[in-house]
Amino acid sequence: MSSKAADHLAENYAEVLGSLCWSIERAEELIKNFDATVEQSIELRGAGHPFDQKVNALKALDSFVDMFPTGDEQGKFYAIDLGGTNLRAVCVQVEGNGVSTTTTSEMNIRDKCVSADTPKGLLDKNIPANVMFDTIAKQTKELMLQVKDDPSAKRKVSFTFSFPMAQESICNGRLGLWTKEFETGRNTNDPVEGQDVAELLNAAFRRAKMGCVVGAVANDTVGTLMSAGYEHNSKSATCRVGVILGTGYNIASYDPVAAKNGFSGSIINHECGNYDGVLQFSSMMDIELDYNSTSKGTQLSEKMISGHYLAEICRLAILKVFQYRCTEDCWTPWSFTTPEAAKVYADNTKSFSVTRKAMKSAFNWDVSSEEELRMIYKLICAVFDRSATIAALQTIVFVNRTRHLQKALGGVTVGIDGSLYLKNPKYRKTFRKTLDKVLGSRSELVNIVEANDGSGKGAAMIAACQNTQG
Ligand code: BGC
């Protein structure tokens, strides 16, 4: 390589890396603006203003949940979890003492119903709502048969539906716009967007000759808050914040101004993946990714943070730096997956051998220069660390808002679910470090718990609380 070309590479690298890095000043600015936006979004909903993306991108959705589990709840509950790559039907045996056992029946919805007209499987815009909901009913029926229950018996099933939905009660939820590149029904006269997903599921249960009806609908963040609460509330500070860092990104939290603003639940689903105040800190990669997405101009925080998008940002960053050095595969959109990128993020070899292997397998690119491998590694680390940092900053705002970050009140437990957080120790470290840096000694009052399968069990926990708390 000529020295001129090498200089160009170094310049590109410095510029792209710089656009991904965060300073404490940026962090403070984000916290201030985000807190004001959260407050305003709750007030707008309270005053009866419908959601308007241009006025305030936070949806502040009433969860209709105003209960905190004690850990003593008991019973057997069915729940369905739709929101990421997998559709899951779960049967949760809630045993009290914070203990529960789960039987799960799972399937990958991206692989189901794939054809030339429906390349995205069940998420495709050409798949009508009835096909999606019949699949969910069938999966639930199979689980009931597996655990030797009668599917025609009358019972309530809880539904974790991990998309922005407006609720009028605990047992309904009207989907706004799909997120995470879901598009089911969009191109058909049998849509999901704009419809009550509980009604769609009840109709599918009837078609499948099942006796169940939807008894509770919850966002996965609300479910995570509830299930972490069930497991930890009796021993630790009450769980008041539920975070998902997986395919998607979002936070639900207990907010003391909810009642004053006319919310029925004290737990609000903020849909903070849609927060657009991050735009002022975005890089060229973020803008390009958003431009080519199916939901342009929305979910801007989610597009910088969640697992669905991280590898694509990494690919774009690599491309911007290495340009014509990249192989054709590296120029192909979505050719890099987040689990592969996560391997690079965790690369602790001196010679970057994991990074080299990942470039070869993802892009058929044999990078032999150690210096170039180091650049790729650093770019990927910057993308993941930026995600953990912004997510932690937004979490800090919600933790602060609970007003429990005070010794006399015992602090706050935060439940986190999602593979991005659960599967990446380095990511968790950056998340915690951000809390420590911003909160100083008050960080000790934030107890983070991993809510493994919180979204699956969560809606069942709401049913369990309804059972005992009435
Ligand atoms: C959805 C949220 C959900 C989050 C995590 C986002 O795309 O809009 O409702 O909580 O993903 O699954």
Residue-wise pLDDT for 87-102, tens only, equals: 999 999 999 999 999 9
Counting Cβ atoms within 10 Å, is residue 425 exposed (0-12), middle (13-18) or buried (19+)? exposed
User: What is the Cα 251 distance to its own chain's centre?
Assistant: 8
Give the closest residue (by CA) to ligand 1 atom 2. 163
Q: Is the pLDDT higher at 344 or at 24?
A: 344
| Position 110 confidence tier, pLDDT thresholds 50, 70, 90 | confident
417 lines ligand 1 (CB under 6 A): no
If phi over 0 gives left and psi between -120 and 50 gives alpha, with beta otherwise, what is residue 49?
Answer: beta
Distance of CA 163 from the midpoint of ligand 1 (Å): 5
Candidates 249, 306, 308: which one to mutate for ligand 1, based on the most atoms within 8 Å of Cβ? Answer: 249
**Dihedral sign of CA atoms 276, 281, 285, 291 in order:** positive
Distance 57 CA to ligand 1 centre (A): 14
Confidence at residue 84, expressed as pLDDT on a 0 to 100 scale: 83
Least confident residue range of 195-199, 438-442, 465-469: 465-469
Whole-number Å distance, alpha carbon 325 to ligand 1 midpoint, is 36
pLDDT, position 149 = 97
C-beta of 81 in contact with ligand 1 (< 6 A): no
The residue whose two tokens read 């998340």 is 431
- The pLDDT confidence band at residue 454, using thresholds 50, 70 and 90, is confident
Residue 373 has pLDDT above 60, yes or no: yes
Find the 143 Cα to ligand 1 centroid distance in Å.
25
The mean pLDDT of 296-301, rounded to a whole number, is 96
- 269 Cα to the center of ligand 1, angstroms: 10
* CB of 244 sitting under 6 A from ligand 1: yes
Question: Angle CA(69)–CA(75)–CA(77) in degrees, nearest 5?
Answer: 90
User: What pTM value is reported for the model?
Assistant: 0.96
User: How high is the pLDDT of residue 140?
Assistant: 97
State the Cα–Cα distance between residues 59 and 49, nearest whole angstrom.
11
How far away, in angstroms, is 243 Cα from ligand 1 center? 10
Residue whose CA is closest, atom 9 of ligand 1?
163
Q: In the predicted model, what is the mean pLDDT of residues 32-57?
A: 96
- What is the spatial distance between Cα 188 and Cα 351, in angstroms, rounded to a whole number? 52
Class of residue 153 by CB neighbours under 10 A (exposed 0-12, middle 13-18, buried 19+): exposed
Tell whether ligand 1 has an atom less than 6 A from the beta carbon of residue 220.
Answer: yes
Which of 106-110, 284-288, 356-360, 410-414 comes out lowest in average pLDDT? 106-110
Predicted pLDDT at 171: 95
How confident is residue 337, by pLDDT bands cut at 50, 70 and 90?
Answer: very high
Residue 231 has pLDDT above 80, yes or no: yes
**Beta strand 249-254 pairing with 174-175:** unpaired
pLDDT of residue 5: 63
420 alpha carbon – ligand 1 mean position (Å): 14
Task: Judge whether 359 and 367 are in contact, CB under 8 Å.
Answer: yes
Cβ distance 200 to 36 under 8 Å? no
User: Is ligand 1 within 6 A of the CB of residue 271?
Assistant: yes
Average pLDDT score over residue span 296-321: 97
Mean pLDDT in residue range 118-134:
96
For position 401, what pLDDT does the model report? 97
More confident residue, 86 or 416: 416
Tell me the pLDDT band of 470, cut-offs 50, 70 and 90.
Answer: low
Q: Which residues contact 408 (CB under 8 A, 6 or more apart)?
A: none
Per-residue tokens: 311: 């590898």
Indicate whether 4 pLDDT > 90: no
Spatial separation of the C-alpha atoms in residues 283 and 146, rounded to whole Å: 49
Region 371-389: mean pLDDT is: 98
Residue nearest to atom 12 of ligand 1 (CA): 248
pLDDT tens, 268-287?
999 999 999 999 999 999 99
Tokens 């080299």 appear where?
Answer: 356
Give me the percent of the chain exceeding a pLDDT of 90: 90
pLDDT of residue 405: 94
Asked if residues 435 and 443 have their Cβ atoms less than 8 Å apart, the reply is: yes
pLDDT band at residue 469, thresholds of 50, 70 and 90?
Answer: low
Answer whether residue 2 shows pLDDT above 70.
no
> 165 C-alpha vs ligand 1 centroid, how far in Å?
10
Structure confidence at residue 452 as a pLDDT band (50, 70, 90): confident
What is the arithmetic mean of pLDDT over 182-207?
Answer: 98
* Ligand 1 pocket mutation pick from 87, 109, 163, 422 by most atoms within 8 angstroms of CB: 163
326 falls in which pLDDT band (50, 70, 90)?
very high
Looking at every residue in the chain, the average pLDDT score rounds to 95
* Under 8 Å between Cβ of 437 and 204: no
Query: How many angstroms separate the CA atoms of 161 and 84, rounded?
Result: 10
- Across 308-322, average pLDDT: 98
Closest Cα to atom 11, ligand 1: which residue?
248
* Minimal-distance CA residue to ligand 1 atom 8: 163
Q: How far is the CA of 93 from the centre of ligand 1 (A)?
A: 26
pLDDT tier at 3, thresholds 50, 70, 90: low
| pLDDT value of position 468 | 75
Spacing, Cα 312 to ligand 1 middle (Å): 18
Substitution candidate for ligand 1 out of 225, 298, 302 with most atoms within 8 A of CB: 302
Average pLDDT over residues 191-210: 98
Residue 118 in contact with ligand 1 by CB distance below 6 A: no
